[in-house]
């Protein structure tokens, strides 16, 4: 309660000083109007609550910005999937409902992940509250757009098990990118910087929830939408029925599992070859199939342009130039993050900090002595030498005598003992010690001072022993060299804390464990004046004041110098370390660059391993790594050129570049691997397959972070919005321009190559109607004889006897199936491929 009252008083006091009349000046108006007050800051107040309140506000979730960003992303998702008829009503082929469901599912999955992260006790900071919600939502929505992009094509070409075919076409790509991102951020948790560990941990948890939701819940919702679509009901307005149903197509005379096509370069079947001259003659086909101007731009302009050798050379030249500019920008990179950079302008704390950095620029610090084996009695001179050597630093505030400005406990303790030792020597000279205990006879020596009484008590006490014969032996509290008597050191320390508590407080020693109040015995007890030994402290401080530390490079130089001195004495057995505001906030910059490089290296290695294992193609993973490296260097160079300092927050953005970079590259590489033809033809196929969903995902993410640009914190705009905006643009340029060109030149070879020289896999022929009737609604055979794979290999027609009962029977069954491929029946009813299997050869991993 008392702390709350003090905090509230500090807030009101700083506010009253901030609005004091001295901070305003009266300006007369030239037109004779009343004078107006103009702000002219002279007095700058600051309290401990001022910065803490602002930083707390900065680290809290800004739900208004998050809500508006999510709404903008939702609106764009709906617009991109909207298909309207002549009456501006949604068609049955529209996917607005699925777009809304996808964004909501990803949002709820992210909220669930944040709840689990909170339950695990992971702390929130500026990076996690400002970046994580938009990062995870952007990646999740990218996967949703990928499913929605392939969904109409699968429905148009597949009759049964559409959801299974959709996941077969798209699920692997989503699984690869999401798993890769999860492992990449998990690898980042090995960093020693707490802010980065929290960010990576929370991101990996949220991405895991998003992956589970997109691959389990969302396909179920797509299955419900498929029923609506087949029944010819309008999107959103499901009660209204439209004429553009796909059920009529399914019940035509050629009722096939797949519509007959002649073009399937990458797994999606088409009615006519793509990217031929006939494409230009059939714009309606493009619009009907995709319903988007983006597809028209892609196929009419972008793909024909990117196929030209001159365009490829220009893209490579531009990319190399951007990479070179990034390397140059790294030379201008500066480390640091001052508190004045974090706080909003035109606020009292920001004005105070700027004035302090300009005119004063000093910070308190202390050297902490700690450890169970820290024996002050035997290491007195080592402690003095440590303080003296640190006091010689140019960063330490000094007195005219070249001594540190702050007194410390051992020096004050020594001065007190020197005074008491002088009292003892005077008492010896005056003959007070003819009898060792006469000094305590209050009836005989009423003029004895309290200092002498204390001194005698201390000489008689050492360890747990009380022996006043030590007075006659000439035992000294402290010798001429300033060395305190080691036998009674801790007894004297207890007496100093007891009788000179004010100097103990001034010294800022902060001994631990704390000493209890010293109690005297009864008057008739000879141990009445015994001073017990203090428990050996395991913690104490030596205070200093720092100066000349105006910016991060200067503070880092100071930390290195002080740290080197502390480490030198730690090696000599004096366990110590520096402490203070400067060390708390800026010591991370000593190894920030090294830790960042290690983090990016670990994440990049995780990316390479995951993609290599999932695709069984290290060369494809290497192509992705090249693009990720270029993206990271270009983003780091952009930070340097824009004078955005390198700190843990911007380091998080660089790590994010690797995660988001996978979203821009892995889909392209996967589509390239699963395409047929020459490298150039496969490049065209992969661009056509992923260009639109990647663009939609990037634009939706950009809309999500758009509201960060309107934050009142300039730090948020500079370190989050601008960096994320640049990251999206860099990712699009490298993922959709440079990577396809790179794949067309040095990409991995085709995994399956037809030996007849074509680049198309033949489509299975349609089954006759009397054969189709033997399939159930799920596509399974209800009868025994369909095609060779479903026939009884042993020659029978009974499906119950399909499995052979012996090795010989198994061999015979295999021969029957193989021969059925080599010699298809004359009627062609069991023929699976238009061309014999011998015309195809498997390469690489297939």
Q: In this structure, is residue 468 part of a structural domain?
A: yes
Write out the H or E segment, with its range, that includes residue 362: strand 362-370
**Residue 497 to residue 485: CA distance in whole angstroms:** 17
Torsion region of 804: left, alpha or beta (phi above 0 gives left; psi -120 to 50 gives alpha): beta
Residues 367 and 472 in one domain: yes
- The Cα 601–Cα 616 span in angstroms is 21
- Return all residues near 470 (Cβ < 8 A) that are at least 6 apart: 459, 460, 462
Hey, is 91 helix, strand or coil?
A: coil
**525 and 663 belong to one structural domain:** no
Q: What is the pLDDT of residue 284?
A: 41
Confidence of residue 616 (pLDDT cuts 50, 70, 90): confident
Greater pLDDT, 766 or 724: 724
Residue 159 near residue 257, CB atoms below 8 Å: yes
Within 8 A by CB and 6+ apart from 264, the residues are 270, 760, 761, 763
Band of the pLDDT at 153, cuts 50, 70, 90? confident
Domain match, 439 and 473 both = yes
Instruction: Please state, in angstroms and rounded to a whole number, the distance separating the CA atoms of residues 69 and 622.
Output: 35
Closest CA to 626 of 639, 608, 653, 651: 608
Let me know whether 644 and 734 are in one domain.
yes
| Mean pLDDT comparison of 271-285, 293-307, 696-710, highest-scoring range | 293-307
The answer to whether residues 210 and 139 touch, using CB atoms and an 8 Å cutoff, is yes
413-452: pLDDT as tens digits: 999 999 999 988 888 887 777 655 445 555 555 567 788 8
- Answer yes or no: is pLDDT of 255 > 60: no
Q: Which residue has the higher pLDDT, 759 or 841?
A: 759
Cβ contacts of 271 within 8 Å, gap of 6 or more: 259, 261, 262, 263
Q: Tell me what pLDDT residue 308 has.
A: 92
Closest CA to 187 of 169, 174, 201, 205: 201
* Full domain range(s) for residue 179: 60-221+591-746
pLDDT band at 311 (very low <50, low <70, confident <90, very high): very high
Same-domain pairing of 675 and 624: yes
Tens digit of each residue's pLDDT (9 = 90 or more) over 317-356: 999 999 999 999 998 888 887 766 776 666 667 777 777 7
Tell me, yes or no, whether 406 and 515 share the same domain: yes
Helices (H), 572-647: 581-586, 592-615, 618-641
150-154-158 Cα angle (round to 5): 170
Q: Given phi > 0 = left and psi -120 to 50 = alpha, else beta, which region is 123?
A: beta
Number of H helices, E strands in the chain: 33, 9
Residue 38 parent element (H or E):
strand 36-39
Average pLDDT over residues 385-399: 92
Let me know if residue 845 belongs to a domain. Answer: no
Q: In this model, does residue 799 exceed pLDDT 70? A: no
Looking at 746, 766, 787, which one is the last position of a domain?
A: 746
Tell me the pLDDT band of 694, cut-offs 50, 70 and 90. Answer: confident
Containing H/E element for 186? helix 162-188
H or E element, residue 840:
strand 840-842
Stretch 715-721: mean pLDDT? 81
Which pLDDT value is given to residue 779?
44
**H-helix or E-strand containing 576?**
strand 576-580
The answer to whether 655 and 734 are in contact (CB under 8 A) is no
Buried b (16+ CB within 10 A) or exposed e, 348-373: bbbbbbbbbeeeeeebebbbbbeeee
Output 478 or 372, whichever has higher pLDDT: 478
| Cβ contacts of 76 within 8 Å, gap of 6 or more | 696, 699, 700, 703
Residue 203 contacts residue 136 (beta carbons within 8 Å): yes
CA distance 37 to 270: 74
Residue 243 CB burial class (10 angstroms; 0-12, 13-18, ≥19) = exposed
Q: How far apart are CA 65 and CA 137, in angstroms?
A: 14
Residue at 148 is within a domain: yes
Q: Report residue 793's pLDDT band, with 50, 70 and 90 as the boundaries.
A: very low
N-term to C-term CA, the chain? 72
**50 with 65, same domain?**
no
Q: Which residue has the higher pLDDT, 65 or 109?
A: 109
Q: How far apart are CA 101 and CA 78, in angstroms?
A: 10
| Span 774-799, average pLDDT | 42
**pLDDT beyond 80 at 44:** no
Q: What is the dihedral of CA 94, 99, 102, 105, to 10 degrees?
A: -110
Q: Which residues pair with 27 in a beta bridge?
A: 36
pLDDT above 90 as % of the chain = 21
Q: Residue 802 gets which letter from DSSP?
A: -
Q: Is residue 564 over pLDDT 90?
A: yes
* Inter-helix orientation angle 96-119/194-212, to 10°: 140
Helix (H, G, I), strand (E, B) or coil at 328: helix
Residue 235 lies in a domain: no
pLDDT (0 to 100) of residue 367: 94
Domain tally, the chain: 3
Query: What does the DSSP 8-state code read for residue 124?
Result: P
Are residue 35 and residue 65 in the same domain, yes or no? no
Distance CA 285, CA 270 (A): 11
Cis-peptide into 571, omega within 30 deg? no
The rounded distance, in Å, linking the Cα atoms of 385 and 100 is 70
**Mean pLDDT for the chain overall:** 76
**How large a percentage of the chain has pLDDT more than 70?**
73
Query: Among 122-131, 153-162, 534-543, 691-700, which stretch is predicted with the lowest mean pLDDT?
Result: 122-131
821 within a domain of the structure (yes/no)? no
Q: Do residues 390 and 406 share a domain?
A: yes
The last residue of one of the domains, among 715, 746, 777, is 746
Torsion, Cα 463 466 468 473, to 10 degrees, reads -30
pTM: 0.68
3-state secondary structure of 541: strand
- Please determine, for residue 229, whether its predicted confidence score (pLDDT) is greater than 60: yes
Kindly state whether residues 638 and 720 are assigned to the same domain.
yes
> What is the side-by-side order of every strand in the sheet holding 539-547?
539-547, 362-370, 576-580
Whether 267 is covered by a domain: the verdict is no
Spatial distance between the Cα atoms of 297 and 446, rounded to a whole number of angstroms: 108
By the 10 Å C-beta count (0-12 exposed, 13-18 middle, 19+ buried), 723 is classed as buried
- Out of 39, 54, 69, a domain closes at 54
Q: Identify whether 464 is part of a domain.
A: yes
**Pairwise CA distance, residues 307 & 51, whole Å:** 57
Asked if the structure places residue 503 within a domain, the reply is yes
64 plus 50 within the same structural domain? no
Q: Which of 79-83, 430-434, 647-651, 733-737 has the highest mean pLDDT?
A: 733-737
Burial 556-578 (b: 16+ CB within 10 A, else e): bebbeebeebbeebeeeebebeb
Same domain, 406 and 522: yes
């Amino acid at each position: 309660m008392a702390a709350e009252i003090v905090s509230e008083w500090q807030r009101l006091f700083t506010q009253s000083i901030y609005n004091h009349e001295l901070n305003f000046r009266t300006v007369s108006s030239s037109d004779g109007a009343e004078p107006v007050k103009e702000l002219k800051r002279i007095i700058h107040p600051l309290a401990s609550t001022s910065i803490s309140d602002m930083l707390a506000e900065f680290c809290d979730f800004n739900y208004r910005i998050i809500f508006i960003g999510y709404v903008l992303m939702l609106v764009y998702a709906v617009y991109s999937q909207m298909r309207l008829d002549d009456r501006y009503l949604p068609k049955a082929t529209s996917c607005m409902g699925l777009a809304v469901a996808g964004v909501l599912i990803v949002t709820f999955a992210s909220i669930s992940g944040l709840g689990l992260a909170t339950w695990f006790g992971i702390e929130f900071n500026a990076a996690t509250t400002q970046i994580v919600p938009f990062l995870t939502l952007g990646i999740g929505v990218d996967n949703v757009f990928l499913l929605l992009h392939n969904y109409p094509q699968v429905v148009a070409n597949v009759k049964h098990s559409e959801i299974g075919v959709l996941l077969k076409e798209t699920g692997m790509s989503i699984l690869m990118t999401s798993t890769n991102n999860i492992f990449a951020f998990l690898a980042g948790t090995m960093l020693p910087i707490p802010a980065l560990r929290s960010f990576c941990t929370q991101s990996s948890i949220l991405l895991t929830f998003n992956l589970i939701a997109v691959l389990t819940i969302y396909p179920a919702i797509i299955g419900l939408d498929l029923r609506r679509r087949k029944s010819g009901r309008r999107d959103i307005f499901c009660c209204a029925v439209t004429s553009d149903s796909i059920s009529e197509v399914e019940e035509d005379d050629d009722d096939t599992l797949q519509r007959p096509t002649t073009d399937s370069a990458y797994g999606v079947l088409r009615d006519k070859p793509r990217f031929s001259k006939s494409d230009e003659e059939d714009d309606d086909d493009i619009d009907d199939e995709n319903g988007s101007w983006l597809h028209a731009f892609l196929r009419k302009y972008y793909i024909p342009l990117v196929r030209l050798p001159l365009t490829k050379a220009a893209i490579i030249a531009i990319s190399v130039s951007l990479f070179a500019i990034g390397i140059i920008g790294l030379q201008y990179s500066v480390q640091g993050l001052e508190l004045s950079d974090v706080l909003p302008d035109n606020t009292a704390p920001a004005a105070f900090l700027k004035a302090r950095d300009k005119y004063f620029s000093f910070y308190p610090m202390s050297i902490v002595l700690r450890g169970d084996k820290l024996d002050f009695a035997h290491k007195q001179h080592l402690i003095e030498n440590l303080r003296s050597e640190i006091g010689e630093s140019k960063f330490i505030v000094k007195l005219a005598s070249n001594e540190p400005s702050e007194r410390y406990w051992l020096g004050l303790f020594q001065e007190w003992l020197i005074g008491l030792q002088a009292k003892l020597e005077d008492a010896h000279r005056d003959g007070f010690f003819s009898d060792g205990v006469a000094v305590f006879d209050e009836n005989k020596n009423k003029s004895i001072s309290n200092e002498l009484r204390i001194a005698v008590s201390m000489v008689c006490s050492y360890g747990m022993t009380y022996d006043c014969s030590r007075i006659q032996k000439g035992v000294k509290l402290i010798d001429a060299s300033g060395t305190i008597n080691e036998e009674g050191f801790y007894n004297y320390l207890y007496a100093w804390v007891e009788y000179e508590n004010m100097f103990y407080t001034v010294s800022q020693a902060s001994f631990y464990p704390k000493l209890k109040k010293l109690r005297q015995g009864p008057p008739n007890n000879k141990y009445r004046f015994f001073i017990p030994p203090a428990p050996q402290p395991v913690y104490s401080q030596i205070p200093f004041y720092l100066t000349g530390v105006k910016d991060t490079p200067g503070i880092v130089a100071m930390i290195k110098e002080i740290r080197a001195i502390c480490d030198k004495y730690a090696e000599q057995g004096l366990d110590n370390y520096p402490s203070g505001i400067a060390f708390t906030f800026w010591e991370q910059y000593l190894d920030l660059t090294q830790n960042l490089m290690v983090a990016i290296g670990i994440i990049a290695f995780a990316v390479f391993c995951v993609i290599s294992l999932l695709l069984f193609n290290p060369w494809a993973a290497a192509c992705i790594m090249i693009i990720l490296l270029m993206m990271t260097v270009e983003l780091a160079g952009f930070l340097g050129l824009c004078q955005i300092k390198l700190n843990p927050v911007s380091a998080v953005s660089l790590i994010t570049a690797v995660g988001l970079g996978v979203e821009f590259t892995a889909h392209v590489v996967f589509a390239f691997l699963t395409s047929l033809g020459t490298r150039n033809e496969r490049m065209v196929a992969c661009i056509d397959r992923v260009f639109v969903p990647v663009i939609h995902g990037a634009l939706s993410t950009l809309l999500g972070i758009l509201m960060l640009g309107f934050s009142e914190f300039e730090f948020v705009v500079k370190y989050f919005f601008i960096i994320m905006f640049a990251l999206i643009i860099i990712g699009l340029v490298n993922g959709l321009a440079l990577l396809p060109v790179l794949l067309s030149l040095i990409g991995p070879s085709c995994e399956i190559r037809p030996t007849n020289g074509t680049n198309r896999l033949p489509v299975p022929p349609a089954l006759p109607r009397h054969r189709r009737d033997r399939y159930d609604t799920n596509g399974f055979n209800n009868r025994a004889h369909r095609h060779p794979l479903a026939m009884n290999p042993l020659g029978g027609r009974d499906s119950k006897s399909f499995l052979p009962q012996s090795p010989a029977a198994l061999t015979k069954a295999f021969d029957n199936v193989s021969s059925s491929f080599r010699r298809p029946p004359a009627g062609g009813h069991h023929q699976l491929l238009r061309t014999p299997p011998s015309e195809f050869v498997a390469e690489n991993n297939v």
